[in-house]
Amino acid sequence: MRELDWTGCPNVRDLGGLPTSLSATGATLTGRIARGPRRELLTESGWSAARDWGLTTVVDLRCPDEVGPRTGDPVVRPAVTESVTVLLAPTEDHADAEFRRTCFPILDSPAYWSHNWRILPHLVRSALEAIADARPGVLVHCSAGRDRTGMISALLLGNAGVAPDDVAADYATSVRAMAGQASQAPTADRQQTWTAEQVESWVTRTTPLVRDAASCTDEAFDAIGLSTEHRHRLRGLLTTETL
């Protein structure tokens, strides 16, 4: 099952199990990369379930000032998480004037993704390199696990040969999972109050944007300067049984 039951966290999913001709199994491999929201939502039993899944590394896409527990987060003893490596690899720089001007109005939309890798290519590249260099069992997350995580997931899945329609469906699953949830974002999140009708309208409007991102991963990787070696490593994480 792609949906992962890690107590405390909605919207946690394995990127395995999606059809691709690049894997001998015919599908992306499970237990390699998962996507989700901020890890501070995990309870101690959630962390236990994550370790049972095979979690070795967390790649946190948030800015440094977003990291840390908030009021209402579960209390987790340090010993519970000490076996997991946490890497901070922000894809955004909120102090960058062009990023703020161009992306802040559309941060909840895939429309900002290509601007992100155009304006801050080194940050997007560093996040992907962190994933590529990690041992299998990687959780990639941001705040809601929908937008920044959606961008990175679309690039990972497109690079692994997953059809753009399936990548768009994965993004839509996160939109549906997080609509109506308390905002975890650093900026205002209008989706926390959306009705089911608003969600489906949004999915219809944004599906072409996600399909486009998934179908042009080579162009995106060229734009950010991702090496051929790292592209192959990322593909192998999701498609090669013996690494």
Is pTM beyond 0.85? Reply is yes
pLDDT confidence of 190, banded at 50, 70, 90?
A: confident
Mean pLDDT of 153-168: 98
- State the pLDDT at residue 187: 64
Q: How far are the Cα atoms of 60, 78, 137, 169, 231 from residue 22, in angstroms, in the given order?
A: 27, 39, 20, 19, 14
In this model, does residue 188 exceed pLDDT 70? Answer: no
Domains of the chain: 13-235 (3.90.190.10)
Per-residue pLDDT reduced to its tens digit, 118-153: 999 999 999 999 999 999 999 999 999 999 999 999
The per-residue pLDDT for 225 is 98
Is the distance from CB of 187 to CB of 107 less than 8 angstroms? yes
What percent of the chain lies above the pLDDT cut of 70? 97
Question: Does residue 185 carry a pLDDT above 80?
Answer: no
Q: Is the pLDDT of residue 104 over 70?
A: yes
The pair of structure tokens assigned to 47 is 């962390």
Judged by average pLDDT, the poorest of 16-25, 75-84, 94-103, 189-198 is 189-198
Q: pLDDT digits over 31-56, tens only?
A: 999 999 999 999 999 999 999 999 99
In the structure, how many helices (H) and strands (E) does the chain have?
10, 5
- Residue 184 binned pLDDT confidence (cut-offs 50, 70, 90): low
DSSP-based three-state secondary structure for 163: coil
Q: Is the pLDDT of residue 1 over 80?
A: no
The predicted pLDDT at position 192 comes to 82
Contacts of 190 (CB under 8 A, 6+ apart): 108
Q: Which of 59, 68, 142, 63 is nearest to 100 (CA)?
A: 63
User: Does the pLDDT of residue 82 top 80, yes or no?
Assistant: yes
Q: How confident is the model at residue 183 (pLDDT cuts 50, 70, 90)?
A: low
